[in-house]
A and B are shown apart, each in its own frame.
Chain A
Amino acid sequence: MSHLYQIKFEKSGPLKYISHLDLSSVVSKTFRRAQIEVELTQGFNPRFKISFGPALPLGVVGLEEFFNISLIDNLDIGVIKSRINKFAPEGLKIKEVELLNENKTTLSQSLKYAVYIIKLRLEGNADTFNEQEIIKRFKKFIRIFLNKEKILANKKTKKGFVDINLRPYVEELEFVSFKDPNIVISLTVDIQYKGSINPNIIVKEFLKEFKEVNLTINEIIRDKFIISKKCNLN
């Protein structure tokens, strides 16, 4: 008799730089080391019954990522959480374990937006501009950016290089804070629109507006998902 759990986890540190496929393998091995029995698929090549939420782009930290997994054992969720964390590699941390009941909708249908926190670094002489100037400039360029109908970027796909319009992906872009030389902005991306987009591409296009100032991306963090208002994950 198997049970379906939803497991929220953080992917950071050294695991920031591994692909989604590699992450899946890391998670599987962690469960085996923790000796928590996972239900296997049928057929020639039995695998763990595990399904992940939207893939994290390479290099992006994820704070509330998740997967659903079918376990054979009927363990206390506190025990599951502590055991997995004990056998997890550096960079993988379980934040929450939840037993799912039949009413839950499938993962992909209910997720509407992903919220990214982008940490930028101001390179060069900060004395040239004062703090108020920077903040004003940022808010102005955000307004300009959001007012555009088309933001074109060249994206490499399987069919070669293609021009895509980034604007429909951007639900919200907000200035968060400035503490010299670090600037934080928040980007909300529509993840149901036409396939996935790497937030890096959107941020890079946005940074092109800043001509006199040198800004580099320090870190991108996927902070959380926002579900659509129609259904209720809880």
Chain B
Amino acid sequence: MQKNSKENIERILFEKILGNVEKPGRYIGKEYNIIVKNDNANIVKVALSFPDLYEIGMSYLGFKILYNIINRREDALAERVFAPAVDMEKLMLEENIPLYSLESYRPFYDFDIIGFSLQHELCYTNILNMLTLGKIDIHSNKRDGMSPLVIAGGPSAFNPEPLTDFIDLFVIGDGEDVINEIIDTYQFWLKSRQRKNKKDLLRRLDKLSGTYIPSFYSVNYLSDGTIKYFQKNRKDAKSIIEKRIITDIDNALFPVSPIVPNIDIVHNRITLEIFRGCTRGCRFCQAGMIYRPTRERSEETLLRLAEDSIRNTGYDEISLSSLSSSDYSRIDSLIEKLLDRYQNKGIGVSLPSLRIDGFSVKLAKETQRVRKTGLTFAPEVGTERMSNTINKNVTENDLYQTVQFAFKEGWRRIKLYFMIGLPTETWEDIDGIINMIKKVESIGKKMIGRKFSLNISVNAFVPKSHTPFQWAKQEKEELLIKKYRYIAKNIKSKHISFNYPDTKISLLEAVFARGDRKLNKVLEEAHKMGCRFDSWREYFNFDNWEKAFKRCQVDMSFYANRKREKAEIMPWDMISCGITKEFLWLEWERSAQGINLNDCHSSVCHNCGLQKVCSKIIKKCITN
């Protein structure tokens, strides 16, 4: 039996490894609705690789969609690969088995295309670790046409620069159409017998819209470290990479037979994507910018998808997922219909996040007819001035009224999310947060009494690419810590629990979120030192990261704590999410002046850059 054959891997797994690791169910596969296809020379094998644990990656809707799309093709197959936990990794190395897929225990290096999902910057070391465990060279330029093609997509792909040494191709925007085009192109390339010529494959892939091939470009820097220019190495390479947009989301494929895990995962339920995009325009939010324009699925379609999903999975909960679910145009009707159909079968409906108004609480009340959990709101800031700065148009009274309504309707647990370190923030604004928390507490104590509990979560602002705040700086750690401690001291109460993240994790996130190509070396160094699972407090090793930055002579604060000027070339300027840089700059200026902008769906169009696409979609919605 060949050493790294699928059969051998499976045997060693069951005989020697699974009995000795935590949560062995992560590494087995064989779940209900799994798709295992036979392969042959004509089938393109795609590894959908999620750079985190099984429990995290299995909730990711994007992979469920791609799994379905790819496996429907006769000429391709998709299998799943997740990052093994630290104890599992150790045993895999001891037993000398490579990273493998769950569908067939196929070694990672045996795939034609490896696709990573970039959900956030702190998973980058996991990507390098997975490649290494899969016995694949992490360097793009050391892999030839016989090695797997390594691609990556997802929100963090909108600033791909810190990963350009390792990823061959980035997918920008919606993946549904482009994944088929990529596989089609790969097939053509195989048939052209250019298998050894990787450059030829990349050249063909560059012809597709929404693909960014970093090796086709180079970057030059000024003496102050900022970018001098970004240029093409090939005449025929794209100058700007426009993101892909699925305009007809109602007819877009939706997986109604997703894999049902045998072990518990986060969000263990049916996730229905009710719409994609958001028009609220909160200035700190990258998702709100990069997923525009808003495209809704019709009520009829959603009801059908819900019916099929429940029948094929047996789940007892449906989550209506989007960036702002109470904004769905037919939300009332949809929830009512779902509850009418499924409530008496013990199947519940949930909304992931709620807007701060009575309407949302009423919705929550409807959905929690079946299960009663806590309510979560995200005021983010504590003063009206800051509310205008970030363009999250919620007043203090909105919050107090909403909270009062919630208590009246029987809820006893409230969770509030806040963000500190935002542009123009003063200590008065921190006091504003404290006062808001105290006011909510007093309302709770008065209306509920002893059993009332308030959970406060405060996060540090991280400036992100493609947002009006991409010119802002993250506040220095010492100041953030001072603010956390100040808040903690002033809200001490038996009713209140308070948590905030490690400021060093926030710092690292801020560095990579707006990083450039110089960070590739740092990432590699950190990987060599064993960094992985950086978003997990138990594994985050700041000392090693600090050493990595020092060795590469790269300064963290250059990326995180530096305010940027209008003329500066950003590392992601060649990637277009459809919103013009001019619009973002105007928003940045408006934020400094405390001017807010209304939701463009319910008021006027603000000309963000997507007018053409948006008007096409709205016309379609109106005619429907």
Asked if A33 and B313 make an inter-chain contact with CB atoms under 8 angstroms apart, the answer reads yes
Asked if A18 and B263 make an inter-chain contact with CB atoms under 8 angstroms apart, the answer reads yes
In the complex, whether A89 has a CB less than 8 A from a CB of chain B is yes
Asked if A18 and B314 make an inter-chain contact with CB atoms under 8 angstroms apart, the answer reads no
Q: Which of A35, A59, A89 contacts B260 (CB 8 A)?
A: A89
State which residues 18-67 of A face B: CB under 8 Å: 18-19, 21-22, 25-26, 28-33, 35, 37, 40, 44-48, 58-59
**Quick check: which of B28-36, B77-85, B224-232, B413-421 contacts chain A, the rest being far away?**
B28-36
**Quick check: which of B18-26, B147-155, B158-166, B498-506 contacts chain A, the rest being far away?**
B18-26
In the complex, whether B137 has a CB less than 8 A from a CB of chain A is no
CA distance A33 to B257 in the complex (A): 11
In the complex, whether A173 has a CB less than 8 A from a CB of chain B is no
**Quick check: which of A9-17, A110-118, A154-162 contacts chain B, the rest being far away?**
A9-17
CA distance A69 to B592 in the complex (A): 63
In the complex, whether B601 has a CB less than 8 A from a CB of chain A is no
Interchain nearest-CB distance for A24 vs B (Å): 11
CB-CB under 8 A for A91 and B25, given A17-B18, A40-B346: no
Q: Which of A21, A25, A48, A88 contacts B346 (CB 8 A)?
A: A48
Total contacting residues, chain B, CB less than 8 A:
27
Interchain nearest-CB distance for B413 vs A (Å): 14
CB-CB under 8 A for A33 and B316, given A44-B371, A48-B346: no
Asked if B310 and A14 make an inter-chain contact with CB atoms under 8 angstroms apart, the answer reads no
Asked if A32 and B262 make an inter-chain contact with CB atoms under 8 angstroms apart, the answer reads no
Asked if A29 and B313 make an inter-chain contact with CB atoms under 8 angstroms apart, the answer reads yes
In the complex, whether A87 has a CB less than 8 A from a CB of chain B is yes
CB-CB under 8 A for A17 and B314, given A22-B263, A46-B370: no
Asked if A90 and B346 make an inter-chain contact with CB atoms under 8 angstroms apart, the answer reads no
List A contacts of B311 (CB < 8 A): 33, 35
Decide if the interface of chain B is mainly helix, strand, loop or mixed.
loop
List B contacts of A25 (CB < 8 A): 264, 268
CA distance A15 to B313 in the complex (A): 17
CB-CB under 8 A for A33 and B312, given A13-B30, A17-B18, A17-B25: yes
CA distance A14 to B31 in the complex (A): 8
State which residues 5-48 of B face A: CB under 8 Å: 15, 18-19, 24-25, 28-32
Which of chain A's residues has its CB closest to B372's CB? A44
Asked if A89 and B28 make an inter-chain contact with CB atoms under 8 angstroms apart, the answer reads no
In the complex, whether B536 has a CB less than 8 A from a CB of chain A is no
Q: Which of B19, B25, B28, B346 contacts A46 (CB 8 A)?
A: B346
State which residues 309-359 of B face A: CB under 8 Å: 310-316, 345-346
Which of chain A's residues has its CB closest to B30's CB? A14
Interchain nearest-CB distance for A31 vs B (Å): 7
State which residues 64-116 of A face B: CB under 8 Å: 87-91
CB-CB under 8 A for A59 and B25, given A25-B264, A29-B314, A87-B314: no
Interchain nearest-CB distance for B79 vs A (Å): 16
List B contacts of A32 (CB < 8 A): 310, 314-316
CA distance A19 to B312 in the complex (A): 23
Total contacting residues, chain A, CB less than 8 A:
32
Asked if B30 and A90 make an inter-chain contact with CB atoms under 8 angstroms apart, the answer reads yes
Asked if B25 and A45 make an inter-chain contact with CB atoms under 8 angstroms apart, the answer reads no
Asked if B310 and A91 make an inter-chain contact with CB atoms under 8 angstroms apart, the answer reads no
Binary interface encoding of chain A residues 109-144 relative to chain B, with 1 for a CB under 8 A from any of its CBs, else 0: 000000000000000000000000000000000000
Interchain nearest-CB distance for A206 vs B (Å): 17
List B contacts of A89 (CB < 8 A): 30-32, 260, 262
Q: Which of A22, A35, A48 contacts B25 (CB 8 A)?
A: A22
Interchain nearest-CB distance for B350 vs A (Å): 13
List A contacts of B370 (CB < 8 A): 45-46
CA distance A88 to B311 in the complex (A): 13
Interchain nearest-CB distance for B343 vs A (Å): 9
List B contacts of A91 (CB < 8 A): 30, 262
Asked if A28 and B371 make an inter-chain contact with CB atoms under 8 angstroms apart, the answer reads no
CA distance A21 to B262 in the complex (A): 10
List A contacts of B32 (CB < 8 A): 29, 33, 87-90
List B contacts of A87 (CB < 8 A): 32, 314
Asked if B262 and A15 make an inter-chain contact with CB atoms under 8 angstroms apart, the answer reads yes
Asked if B262 and A22 make an inter-chain contact with CB atoms under 8 angstroms apart, the answer reads yes
Which of chain B's residues has its CB closest to A31's CB? B314
CA distance A21 to B260 in the complex (A): 15
CA distance A26 to B312 in the complex (A): 13
CA distance A48 to B311 in the complex (A): 17
CA distance A90 to B263 in the complex (A): 13
CA distance A30 to B262 in the complex (A): 11
Which of chain B's residues has its CB closest to A32's CB? B314
For this complex, 24 residue pairs linking A to B, each with C-beta atoms less than 8 Å apart, are: A13-B30, A17-B28, A18-B262, A22-B263, A29-B260, A29-B313, A29-B315, A29-B316, A30-B314, A32-B310, A33-B32, A33-B312, A33-B314, A44-B371, A44-B372, A46-B370, A58-B24, A59-B18, A59-B19, A87-B32, A89-B31, A89-B262, A90-B30, A91-B30
Beyond the given A18-B263, A30-B314, A37-B345, please list 16 additional residue pairs across the A-B interface where CB-CB is below 8 A: A14-B262, A17-B25, A18-B25, A18-B262, A25-B264, A26-B262, A28-B314, A28-B316, A29-B313, A33-B313, A35-B311, A44-B371, A45-B371, A47-B346, A59-B19, A59-B24
Closest 6 CB pairs of A and B: A29-B314, A32-B314, A14-B30, A17-B24, A33-B314, A89-B32
